[in-house]
Chain A
Amino acid sequence: MTSQVFAVFDELLRSPRAIAERSRAGGDLRPLFVASLSALVLGAGVFGATLATSRGGLQLLYSGVKLPLAMVVTMLLVVPAFHAIAAGLGRPLSFSGMIGLTLAAAGRGALVLIALSPLIWLSFDRGLAYHPGVLLAAACYALAGVAALDLVLRGVGFDARGLVIVSLFAGVLCAAGGQTAWMLRPFLGRPSAQSVPFFRARESSFWDAVQQSSRSSFGVYRVTRALSKVRAEAGGQQ
């Protein structure tokens, strides 16, 4: 079993087509499940801890635990949707095959994150600030996501219908994964923060943050309640 698992690690990186075909065929998928889940936990854990090197201390442990947790929870939430969308659009796969394919894709993405971890560490070590660090992390996620979606696309079929299925699945994945990660943040930890919380207090949502960032990028800033209070106090003193 152990040798099979190591063989799957290699296959995840080198031959996504073989992994996709194995998921489609069904049969004994246990080595694939074990290898993919191990890659997912290890890769996301290492990357999470590396992100936290900007803050250090307890944040290293928290991020190393929370990033794999966010990815596993997201997988649990989106696999039924992927299964239903693929079946509805005429590319049915057995449920175990779908779990295998999704886990393998996530595992492949996590292995890419391991490869990118030294770059993140070096960047923070050379003094990369918090906001550019967030952007660099997002770019790494995007790269890992492309590697993962490549495997998924081979699983559902590399044609127009396969592209539609994967695009719809990516939409569900972004919404559910974004919100899960939002709930489990912080992963980097703000340098100015006094303490290191495991979870930040519930505020707004991933969706609201995306909307607010989009508006801000066009120079439209929403006046928050806290800011309007500060302005009112400043006006009263004048």
Chain B
Amino acid sequence: MEQSLPTIVSAPQPSLSARLISAETHGVTQEFTRLAAGLGLAALYGLALGARSGGISLVQHALAASAGLAAVAVLGMPALFVLLALVDAPVSPVALLSAAARSLASAGFVLAGLAPSAALLAVTIDSADAVAFVTRAGLVLAGGIGLFQLTSAVRAMLEHLPAERRLKCNALLFGFCLFTIMLAGRVWYSLPILKGAA
């Protein structure tokens, strides 16, 4: 008589990118962990830029690269929640935290992905202007992808609203995007490499 032996099948572990960018909402602790992972990954881009000068510049750039995303999380997200609540949008704090963590983790992940190329360019290009342009391009790319993730997630929450309220929410979201761009830009402009540091 054949007996089927129990087999141990391990479920495949989701990859880092899947865990960071997953649309699933987790508990508050997991969302904060995801957010922190995004900030840590953004610091890799800063380290790559800091390699141009080395030394303390590594730390300065790593901190400033993460700070741009952290500022959006700390200053921007509570404000967005309050504004959306004022127009009675069906957005819970946990859902918005999840959307923010996902978008900032995406931006951090893209910055980390750009880090090897950024290191090569920052170290080997002589012109300070050219390096500043490359740095800005990387920040705009990552910030744009993060913002795309955030607006997609929030708009999905507003899907079932009546047209008039959805229009108000979208207008607020548009204003928030402008504010976020200015805020992240303001913080990222503290990167020494953007001020022409050799």
Known contacts A87-B21, A175-B121, A179-B120; is-contact A95 B15 (Cβ 8 Å): yes
Interface pair A81/B106, CB less than 8 Å apart: no
Evaluate contact between A204 and B126: CB separation under 8 angstroms. yes
CA distance in complex: A168, B144 (Å): 11
Contact status B124-A88, CB under 8 Å: no
Residues of chain A within 8 A (CB-CB) of B110 are: 81, 84-85, 88
> Separation in Å of the B6 CB from the closest CB of chain A?
26
CB of A78 within 8 Å of the partner chain = yes
Chain A 178-195 near chain B by CB (<8 Å), digits 1 or 0: 011001000000000000
In the complex, chain B residues 126-143 whose Cβ is within 8 Å of any chain A Cβ: 126-127, 130, 133-134, 137, 141-142
Write the B98-109 contact mask toward A (1 if CB under 8 angstroms, else 0).
Answer: 000000001101
Asked whether B124 lies within 8 Å of A92 as measured between CB atoms, the reply is no
Contact partner, A179, options B107, B121, B148, Cβ 8 Å: B121
Count A-B pairs with CB separation below 8 Å: 92
CB atoms of B120 and A89 under 8 A apart? no
SS of B interface (majority): helix
Q: Given that A87-B21, A88-B149 are contacting pairs, would A205 and B113 also be in contact in the complex, using a CB cutoff of 8 Å? A: no
CA distance A206 to B146 in the complex (A): 29
Known contacts A92-B17, A176-B120: does B145 contact A205 (CB below 8 Å)? no
Smallest beta-carbon distance A112→chain B, Å: 24
Within 8 A of B (CB), among A34-81: 76-78, 80-81
Cα–Cα, bound, A204→B141 (Å): 26
Does B117 interact with chain A (Cβ within 8 Å)? yes
Interface size on A, residues (CB 8 A): 30
Q: A179-B124, A183-B124, A207-B125 are in contact. Are A88 and B106 (CB under 8 A)?
A: yes
Q: Residue B115 at the A interface, CB < 8 A?
A: yes
Beta-carbon contact of A84 and B125 below 8 Å = no
Please pick, from A77, A88, A92, the residue contacting B117 in the complex, using a CB distance under 8 A. A77
How many Å lie between the Cα of A80 and that of B118 in the bound state? 12
Contacts of B74 in A (CB 8 A): none
Contact A205 to B130, CB < 8 A, known contacts A94-B15, A176-B120:
yes
Most B-side CB within 10 Å, residue of A85, A172, A175, A179? A175
Q: Which of A87, A175, A205 contacts B126 (CB 8 A)?
A: A205
- Residue B70 interfacial (CB < 8 Å): no
- Range for the number of chain B residues in contact with chain A: 20 to 34
* Residue B193 at the chain A interface, CB threshold 8 Å: no
Quick check: is A208 within 8 A (CB to CB) of the other chain? yes
Does B117 lie within 8 Å of A172, measured CB to CB? yes
Assembly CA distance A80 to B109 (angstroms): 9
Q: Which of B70-125 contact A (CB under 8 A)?
A: 106-107, 109-117, 120-121, 124-125
Q: Give the residues in chain B near A183, CB-CB below 8 Å.
A: 124
* A84, B126: Cβ atoms closer than 8 Å: no
A82, CB-defined interface residue at 8 Å: yes
Judge if B163 is at the interface, Cβ distance under 8 Å.
no
Q: Tell me if B18 is interfacial: C-beta within 8 Å of chain A.
A: yes
B141 cross-chain contacts in A, Cβ below 8 A: 85, 168, 171
- A24 CB-CB contact with B under 8 Å: no
Q: Give chain A residues whose Cβ lies under 8 Å from the Cβ of B121.
A: 175-176, 179
A80 touches B112 (CB 8 A): yes
Q: Which 4 pairs of residues, A with B, have the shortest CB-CB distance? A: A84-B113, A88-B145, A176-B117, A205-B125
Which B residues form the contact surface with A (CB < 8 A)?
Answer: 15, 17-18, 20-21, 106-107, 109-117, 120-121, 124-127, 130, 133-134, 137, 141-142, 145-146, 148-149
